[in-house]
Amino acid sequence: MFNPTFSLERFSKKLRKRKTPHGVSCSYLQWSPKCGLKMFSEKYQRNHSHRGQERASKAKLAPRVGKKFEFEVLSCDDVDAPNPRFVKVYCFFTEAAKVTARGTSYRTELKLMAALEGIGIDHYDLHQGNVGRIGKRWVVIDFDGASCSIDALR
C-alpha cells in the first residue's frame, strides 16, 4: 500500500484547475503523475471499491491503493447561503493508470475477467474505459458496486 500526503489546500487548487473524470459513483482527480485520488459521495461505495481494488492489486490486476480517508467541503449549492452546508467526501489514493483511446483488445479483457474471477471478483462492466496500463501491464480501474461483486469468502 502507498500513502501520498493529502492537503485540503492542494485539493482545492487541483479541483479548480481541471475537470475530473467520473463514473457512476466515483470522481477521479490526478494528484501527481503517478497517483490519483478517487472520490465518492457515499462511504459504502468507497469501501466496496477500495476492497475490490485492493484485492485485485495484490494479484497485479489493479493499481495499488492507499488508506481510506474522508474530509468535508462546502456544498456547491450552499456557497452563498446564510447557513452553508458541508458534505463529506470519501476517498482513497490510487496508483495512476493510463487509459488510452485505443484501449484493450477483447482478448485482453477476457484474460483480465478470468483472472479477476479467479480471485473472487465478478466484473460486470469490463470495457476499454475501465482498463488502463501501468508500464506494460494491463489493469482494471473500476471496482464500484455497479461494476462488480466481491466474494467475501475467498
pLDDT digits (tens, 9 = 90+) for 41-77: 999 999 999 999 999 999 999 999 999 999 988 776 6
Q: pLDDT confidence of 78, banded at 50, 70, 90? A: low
pLDDT in tens, 80-128: 667 777 889 999 999 999 987 676 788 888 999 999 999 999 888 888 8
Query: Is residue 153 pLDDT above 70, yes or no?
Result: no
Cα–Cα nearest to 94, from 135, 125, 146, 54: 54
Residue 96, pLDDT score: 95
Residue 24 CA to residue 74 CA, distance in Å, equals: 22
- Is there a domain that residue 86 lies in? yes
2 part of a folded domain: no
- The reply to whether 3 falls in a domain is no
Query: Could you give the number of structural domains in the chain?
Result: 1
Owner of C-alpha cell 459504502: 44
Is 1 part of any domain? no
Q: Are 129 and 116 in contact (CB under 8 A)?
A: no
Answer yes or no: is 109 within a domain. yes
CA-to-CA distance for 107 and 89, rounded, in angstroms?
Answer: 36
Strand, helix or coil for residue 102: coil
The tens digit of pLDDT for each residue in 31-43 reads 999 999 999 999 9
Q: Give me the residues paired with residue 35 across strands.
A: 32, 95
State mean pLDDT over 11-33.
Answer: 78
121 CB-near residues (< 8 Å, 6+ apart): 52, 55, 56, 143, 148, 149, 150, 151
Considering the domain boundaries, does residue 106 fall inside one?
yes
- Which residue did the predictor score with more confidence, 144 or 82? 144
In a domain, 118, yes or no: yes
- 64 in a structural domain: yes
Question: Which domain does 52 fall in, by range?
Answer: 8-150
Rounded CA separation 38/21 (Å): 10
What is the pTM (predicted TM-score) of this model?
Answer: 0.85
If you average pLDDT over residues 16-35, what whole number do you get? Answer: 79
Q: Specify the pLDDT at position 77.
A: 60
